[in-house]
Amino acid sequence: MADDFTSPVDIEASADGLPGLGQLAVALGLALILLGLFNAHALAAWADGLTPGPRTAPVAAAAHDLADRLAARGLDTPRAVLHDAGEQAKAARWPGQADQR
């Protein structure tokens, strides 16, 4: 290897607990479940972007059905609160600021 090669991930860290692969599998698996529950909106938005057709229609319907059912149980609330806060930040104006041309 060339002498000047350094990678940002060349870091010595504790090796206690699960090995790296186990750590990755558990963390990603849990993250996907949580995102499926709390961010099903993203799945529905992705399905909307699929080319409409007989094969994609059931996918889109299932994604929207899931998002609607989870929203009915209030699981979309954290995302909605954060999204509203983001929209408020985007709408903020300086005193006397002109409208965007």
Partner 1 sequence: MLFPTLDFGLFFLPVLILVWTLGQASNEWRKIILVLASWIFYGAWDWRFVALLIASAAINWLLALAIQRRLAADAGVQPWLALGVIANLAILGFFKYFGFFLEELAPILVAAGFGRDLPVLDVVLPVGISFFTFQGMSYLIDIARGKTAPASFLDLVLLMSFFPHLVAGPIVRASHLVPQFQAVPRLSRAMVAGGLILILWGLFKKTVIASELATRLVDPAFFDPAAQTGPDLVAAAYGYAVQIYCDFSAYSDMAVGLAALLGYRFPRNFDQPYRAASLQDFWRRWHISLSSWLRDYLYISLGGNRGGLFFICRNLFLTMILGGLWHGAKWTFLIWGALHGGVLAIERLWRDLRPAGLPRLPTPLAVLLIFHIVVVGWIFFRADDLAGALAYLAELAAFRPGVALAGPLMCGLIGLGMAIHFTPPGLFAGLTRRVAAWPAPLLGVAVAAAVLIIDALRFEGVAAFIYYQF
For partner 1, the binding residues (CB under 8 A) are: 1-2, 4-32, 34-35, 38-39, 42-43, 46, 78-80, 82-83, 85-86, 89-90, 92-94, 96-101
40 touches 67 (CB < 8 A): yes
Distance (Å, rounded) from C-alpha 22 to C-alpha 93?
A: 48
Least distance from partner 1 to the Cβ atom of residue 68, Å? 18
- Please identify, using beta-carbon distances, which residue of 12 and 54 lies nearer to partner 1: 12
- Please identify, using beta-carbon distances, which residue of 54 and 94 lies nearer to partner 1: 94
> Token pair for residue 27?
């963390």
> CA–CA distance from 86 to each of 19, 65, 75, 79 (Å)?
38, 26, 19, 10
3-state secondary structure of 57: helix
43 touches 67 (CB < 8 A): yes
Least distance from partner 1 to the Cβ atom of residue 29, Å? 7
Least distance from partner 1 to the Cβ atom of residue 71, Å? 14
- Please identify, using beta-carbon distances, which residue of 15 and 72 lies nearer to partner 1: 15
